[in-house]
Amino acid sequence: MEKIFDQLIDSFIENKVGIAENFLSTDLSKHLINNLKSLFNDKMMLSAGTGNDTVVVHDKMYRSDKIYWLDREHNNIHENSFFNLMDTFISHLNRTCYTGITGYEFHYTLYEKGAFYKKHVDQFRNNEVRQYSMIMYLNEDWIEEDGGELCIHHLNHLQNISPVSGKSVFFKSSELEHEVLMTNKSRMSITGWLKIN
Ligand SMILES: O=C(O)CCC(=O)C(=O)O
Ligand SMILES: [Fe+2]
C-alpha cells in the first residue's frame, strides 16, 4: 500500500494534484458503492449545502449533489475498512511529510444525471481546519461521453480528471479552484477532508 500512498503524495508534490489509480481495491469500491446505493434507496442521501461552518445554504444552482456522512459508529464493516485505510494513509503522510493531520471527515457523494458543482475552493473562508481534500471515485465503466469530470483550474490551464473507480485525488483545500462538470449519468464517490485542529 505504501507504494500507492507515495504515488499519491509524489504526484501531489509535482503537480499540486495527487492522483493514484488503485487507492481503493476493487473489492472495497464495490462494497462502498453498494452502501451508497442502499443509502440512496433508503432516502438517506440528502442535498448538500455550501457556506461556512455556521451558515449552510442549499443552492441547487451552485451544487446539486447528495451526500451522507460516514461514521465509525455505523459499525459497517466496509465503512470501517475505509477508515482503517485512511488511518494508515494519514500516519504515512504525517510521518513522511510532517503534515500534522489530526482528524478527517468523509461523506458518500452522489451526483445524479444532470448534477454538477460549480467552481469553488474547499476551505471555508473563516475556518482553516480543512487542510487537504481527498476524493475516491466509485464508478466502473466511465467513458468520455459520461461527462462529470473533476475540472481543476490551475493558473494557466485546466486539468480534467475522470471519476473512475478506485482512483483517488488529493490536493490542498485552501488553494485550488475546481468544479465538477455536469454528469450524464449517476456519479458516485467518497469525498472528504484531512483536518488540523
Ligand atoms: O467529486 C469531485 O470530483 C469533487 C467534489 C468537490 O469538489 C467537493 O465536494 O468539494
Ligand atoms: Fe470541492
| Ligand 2 center to 173 CA (angstroms) | 8
Residue 178 near ligand 1, beta carbon < 6 Å:
yes
Torsion-angle region of residue 75: left (phi > 0), alpha (psi -120 to 50) or beta?
A: left
Instruction: State pTM to two decimals.
Output: 0.93
**ipTM of this complex > 0.85?**
yes
Residue 180 near ligand 1, beta carbon < 6 Å:
yes
| Ligand 1 center to 1 CA (angstroms) | 24
Per-residue pLDDT of the chain (197 residues; tens, 9 = 90+): 899 999 999 999 999 999 999 999 999 999 999 999 999 999 999 987 765 555 556 677 789 999 999 999 999 999 999 999 999 999 999 999 999 999 999 999 999 999 999 999 998 777 889 999 999 999 999 999 999 999 999 999 999 999 999 999 999 999 899 999 999 999 999 999 999 98
Nearest protein CA to atom 3 of ligand 1, as residue = 150
Helices (H), 42-168: 77-97
Nearest protein CA to atom 9 of ligand 1, as residue = 191
- The CATH homologous superfamily to which domain 2-49+59-195 belongs is q2cbj1_9rhob like domain (2.60.120.620)
Residue 17 · residue 171 · CB < 8 Å: yes
